[in-house]
Structures are given as C-alpha cells and as structure tokens.
Amino acid sequence: METEQATPAQQPTVTPAELEIRDLHARIDDKEILRGVNLTVRQGETHALMGPNGSGKSTLANVIMGHPRYEVTQGEIYFNGINLLELSPDKRARLGIFLAFQYPSSVPGVSVGNFLRRALEAKREGYDPHAPEVPSGEAPKRKGMSPAEFRKLLNEKMKLLKVDNTFINRYINEGFSGGEKKRAEILQMAMLEPRMAVLDETDSGLDIDALRIVAEGVNALRGPNLGALLITHYQRLLNYIHPDIVHVMFKGRIIRTGGPELALELEQKGYEWLTGESEEDAGEDGATPTV
C-alpha cells in the first residue's frame, strides 16, 4: 500500500513592485519636454535610460519624484498600483521611491549622520493611501529608532559601500568632491532601502576612479528587492553596472528598447543613426531647474 507523501506548505508569493509610466507628457515654463513616455520597470530589474543631451531624461526623473516646477499635462505614473501624480514627493519617497540627483545640493549645518537618521525614521512611517491624512499643522508620528540600532545599520552599510567613518560627521555635500557627493547619494540609498531607485546621471562629473567606486556601491545594493532606472548619457557607466534593459530617449519619447548590446552599439555609432540628427541639431529639449 502506497503512502501519500506530504506536500510542502506553499510559500506565499510576493508580487514585485512595478513602476509604470503611461503616455506621459510634461512641461516646464510652458515648454513641453516629455511627449508621450511609456516605460515599465519592475522591482529586481535594472534599466538604463540613454539619449542625447536635452532629450528629457532628467525631466523624467524629476517628474517621477514630483518636482513642483514640472506640470504633467497628460498620462499616468503608477507605482505598485498607486497613482503617483496624486502624491507629494515625501509620500512617493515613503512608498519606496528614491532619486539620486545629478547635482546634489549642499546643506550646511546638517551632518550626514543626522540627516540619514531623520530620513530613515520618516521612511519607516511608510505611506498608506487608505489611512486618514494627518491634520494640517500637526507633525506625523515618527517611528523612532535607538542610537544603537541606527549605528549598527549605518556601520553595516558603510562597510558594504567602503565609506570612511569620518564621512558621517561632515555637513551634507559641503566641500565634497564630485565623487564624494555621489557616494553620499548611494549611502542614502543603502540606508533607505528603496524598492525603486532612479539615478539621474550618477556618472556626471566623475573621473574613472570615482566612477568605479560609485558603480561598485550600486552593484552591492542590487538584488530582487531593488528596481533601478539608470539615467546616463554615456555607455561608460554601463561598463560597471550591467543593465538588463536599455532604452533610448529622444525629444521626449523612448524611441528604442533593447538589451545591453544596444548600449554598446550606441557607444560605437553615437545617437545619430537612431535619431537622424546630430546632438548639436537636436538642441536642448530637456530642462533641469535649480533645486
């Protein structure tokens, strides 16, 4: 008589979060920049967004995060089924979206360590679209963390990213080199552990050594819990951070999508073979306001 074998209990499946952009149009100062962007990035995937200067790449990053100077005139942005266009930037961040700036601002008087702790406490609040809003004028309740807990987590992330301990006592980006500013951004990302990260030209202004160090930090954070959209003009960043999918943006639209080989083809041929225009002829369609 055959005995029935017990079947293992089924593990609950977790659906990866998804950033979905549908027919997105946006403008700044009455100038249309995005002209129908369609893009989907899932948690666990790494996408690269390339294109000539002025194609709208940084505008897309700012619109995803909710920069107030950009006006969305058409289209939708959903994250995990939630309409981001209805949310303020802080709520988008608490949902698990992170933006690394192309030109990070300095904040005199605020240390990196203190900033990271306050940001982490705010992030841990999370955001429930069904929860009642905090009345105007009242501060939201912070999920505090003990100094020992914060220090332990910070030491783990700094070790992972090979960041010197003296880094956290300095004021945010004040007197930082280009490479240090970008490493500070990656340390923020490591501490906040977002589900979706948009890195806006992280390679901008970096020499080859700084680029390698920053790329190693990004690679150390890759995994099934992080989706990433790398915005870059040059293929050199992708020598260190290998994307799963590459998109090409031109004049506010994504005109080509392919695998990692597409970035290599762009490195060899430039953008003119896709766009039909030289970068000088393409002009400055994008606009990045001063933050």
| pLDDT tens-digit map of 151-165 | 999 999 998 888 888
pTM of the predicted model as reported, rounded to 2 decimal places: 0.85
The structural domains of the chain, with segments of one domain joined by +, span: 18-128+143-282
Ranges in the chain, pLDDT < 70:
1-14, 128-144, 277-291
Strands 31-42 and 82-83: unpaired
pLDDT of residue 13: 52
How far apart, in whole angstroms, are the C-alpha atoms of residue 230 and residue 219? 12
How much of the chain, in percent, has pLDDT values that exceed 90?
56
Backbone CA torsion sign across 251, 256, 259, 260: negative
pLDDT tens digits along 199-215: 998 888 788 888 888 88
CATH, domain range 18-128+143-282: 3.40.50.300
| Cα 11 from chain centroid (whole Å) | 30
How far apart, in whole angstroms, are the C-alpha atoms of residue 203 and residue 183? 11
pLDDT of residue 153: 93
